[in-house]
Each structure stands twice: as C-alpha cells, then as structure tokens.
Structure 1
Amino acid sequence: MDPVLAWNILAGLLVVVGLLGVVLPVLPGVPILFAGLWLAAWASGFEHVGFWTLLILGKLAVLSILVDLLASLLGAKRSGASTAGIVGAGLGAVAGLAMGLVGVLVGPFVGAVLGEMVHGRRLDHASRVGVGTWIGIIVGTAAKVAIAFTMLGLFALSWWL
C-alpha cells in the first residue's frame, strides 16, 4: 500500500471519529478532528493546506475546548447558581466522565443541584440551576458542531483553492 494513501486513510478515520466526538461527550471531538486535518495536510506535504490555515484550525480547536469547559458552568451561572453550584457542576462533569455517556450527561446536573443544596438553596432553585447547566451543555454542543464544520469548510477551501 502506498504510504501516502495509508496516512490519508488514517487522517480520514480521525476526521470521522472527531466528528462523532463532537456530539458524543466522551470523546474530545474537535481536537481529534484537528489531528485528522493536520495529518491530511502533512501527508500531502503541506502542498494544499499550509501553516496559516493550520494555525487558524488549531486556534479553533482550542476555542472548542474552552467552549466545552465553560458551557455548562455558564449555563449554571446564568440560571442563578451560587459559586458552590458552579463548582458542583464542574466537579459533576469531571466525575461523570468516569461513568460514560450517562455520567457525562447527568454528572453536571447532579453536581450543580448538590452544590446548590450544600449552599443552602431549596430543591426547586437547585433544580433550575441543574436545568440551566443542561441548557449550557446543549448550547456548548451546538457551538462545537459549528466550530467543527467551520474547520472542515476552511480546510476544504484551503485544499481546493
């Protein structure tokens, strides 16, 4: 098998896994997508996609990580969370990683609710903060999808122009 073809196949697989990871919270989708795009550029000797395009793609990948980390916390804050609720949402997100997909979805909610309860808030308020955390996750996922498709579009434009 031609080595360039093998590298391009691997790059394509990374792109597909990265796209899946954008909507599956267990995988770091956009960074994997970036790795696939970088590998495709490298395999072609950077003939089509150069330094500046890769720099922009890398910055977009970093932005997606920040969006991912901050989305649920900002959702909690926007719904009136205390510092304890925000910390709880963050800790719940981290703890949820160990429990797979269900944990990633439930962890921030439970963490925010428990944080609010520890802070002395009533269950109805704590539940609103938990729902705000989920809304933040949904908005963050939508932003990551937009970033991923922006990266793909920029890569395609750079490749064919």
Structure 2
Amino acid sequence: MDLLLTTLGFICIIVGVLGSFIPVLPGLSSCWVGLLLLYLTDAVAINYWVLGITFVLMVIITILDYVIPAKGTKKFGGSSYGVWGTNIGLIVGIIAPIPFGVIIGPFVGALIGELLYDSSNHKRAVKAATGSLLGFLASSFVNFMFCIIYLGIFFTIVWQNRTGLF
C-alpha cells in the first residue's frame, strides 16, 4: 500500500508541475495532495508542520494565481475581456501545434479580447495584452517555482524514508 500511495503522490506532483502552466490541470493543489499521500504511508511519520505550512502556502499562491494576471491586465489598462482572452488563448496555444503556443496564445487571446471590448483603440489593446501576458507569465512562474519546491520536498522525504518505502 505504501508503494501505491507513493506512486500516486508522485503522479500528483507531476500533474501539479504541468498544471503550473496548463490551466486545465490543478497546479499547486495537486502537488500538496501528492505530499499528503506520501505522509499517509506507514513508512513516513506524519509531520503536521510541513503539511500545514505547505497547505497555507498553497492557498495563498492559488489565490494569487487568479489575482496576478487580472492585476497585470488592469495595470496596463485592460478589461476583463483581456483576462478571458488570455485564458482562452492559452488553451488554444497549448492545443494548436505551433511553436511557443503557450506564450503566443495568451498574448493573441488577450489582444483579441481587448479588441472585442474596444475595437477603435489598437494601442490600448496591445498594451493591455502585454500586461495580461506579463501577469500570466509572472503567475505561472511563481506557481512553477512552488511546484518545484514541493517536488524537492517530496523527493527529500522519499529519500529519507527509502528503506521503509521500498
């Protein structure tokens, strides 16, 4: 059972790392579930401090994950159309077989969203799309960094308890 929980925990961590860039997948919350599954094994003594601190950080980062792109768009003069365009463009950029679709998609999506909002002001639309893209990239970077930290915690715990787990 320990090996199954460890494997499921590792899968959750990998899904979380991928989810830090792909909005359809859960990001940091999936990583936290991976840590929780590891602590539910008999071989690993539960550490409420680690689980508690990582949980609080996960909640804060998850909230910021929604706030940062919107703030980036608003700071650069954008609307909610730009935020929605960013998210839709990201999904299209992931699915479409184009190079750098993850970066190009959100920018083009935000630009189209802003042009739908106000088609007469192209300069403002480009500025808002840039803000939306920068907000998305900043949010993804923060999420990715914390996912990597959780991955490091996971491997450290597995390494320290390798004799009981394997």
Q: Classify the TM-score, shorter chain.
A: 0.7 to 0.9
Identity %: 25
Report the Cα distance in structure 1 between the residues aligned to 2:113 and 2:150, rounded to whole angstroms: 32
> What per-residue deviation string (whole Å, max 9, x for no partner) do you get for residues 32-88 of structure 1?
1111111111124650x411211111112112212221122111122133xxx1x22
Question: Displacement of 1:100 after TM fit?
Answer: 7.6
Counterpart of 1:139, as a letter, is: A
Q: 2:85 aligns with which of 60, 67, 92?
A: 92
Report the Cα distance in structure 1 between the residues aligned to 2:73 and 2:110, rounded to whole angstroms: 9
Q: Which runs of 5+ in 1 are unaligned?
A: none
Q: Which runs of 5+ in 2 are unaligned?
A: 97-104, 162-166
Q: Highest relative contact order (Cα 8 Å, sep 6+), 1 or 2?
A: 2
Question: Displacement of 1:20 after TM fit?
Answer: 1.5
| Counterpart residue number, 1:110 | 112
Report the Cα distance in structure 1 between the residues aligned to 2:63 and 2:82, rounded to whole angstroms: 16
| Counterpart residue number, 2:136 | 137
TM-score, normalized by length of structure 1?
Answer: 0.75
Whether the 8 Å contact between 1:96 and 1:107 is mirrored in structure 2 is yes
| Counterpart residue number, 2:67 | 70
SS of residue matched to 2:20: helix
User: Aligned-residue CA RMSD in angstroms?
Assistant: 3.0
Given the superposition, is the C-alpha separation of residues 59 and 156 from structure 1 closer, same or farther in structure 2, using an over 3 Å criterion? farther
Whether the 8 Å contact between 2:86 and 2:132 is mirrored in structure 1 is no
Equivalent pairs, count: 151
Moved more, 14-23 or 90-99: 90-99
Whether the 8 Å contact between 2:2 and 2:43 is mirrored in structure 1 is no
Report the Cα distance in structure 2 between the residues aligned to 1:129 and 1:90, rounded to whole angstroms: 9
> What per-residue deviation string (whole Å, max 9, x for no partner) do you get for residues 9-33 of structure 1?
1111111111121122321221111
Moved more, 61-70 or 125-134: 61-70
Report the Cα distance in structure 2 between the residues aligned to 1:23 and 1:98, rounded to whole angstroms: 10
> What per-residue deviation string (whole Å, max 9, x for no partner) do you get for residues 91-130 of structure 1?
4356568758359735444334433x17xx6111112111
Tell me, yes or no, if structure 1 residue 36 matches structure 2 residue 23. no
Given the superposition, is the C-alpha separation of residues 37 and 46 from structure 1 closer, same or farther in structure 2, using an over 3 Å criterion? same
Report the Cα distance in structure 1 between the residues aligned to 2:24 and 2:65, rounded to whole angstroms: 12
Given the superposition, is the C-alpha separation of residues 102 and 71 from structure 1 closer, same or farther in structure 2, using an over 3 Å criterion? farther
Report the Cα distance in structure 2 between the residues aligned to 1:98 and 1:137, rounded to whole angstroms: 13
4+ runs deviating over 6 angstroms: none
Given the superposition, is the C-alpha separation of residues 109 and 27 from structure 1 closer, same or farther in structure 2, using an over 3 Å criterion? farther
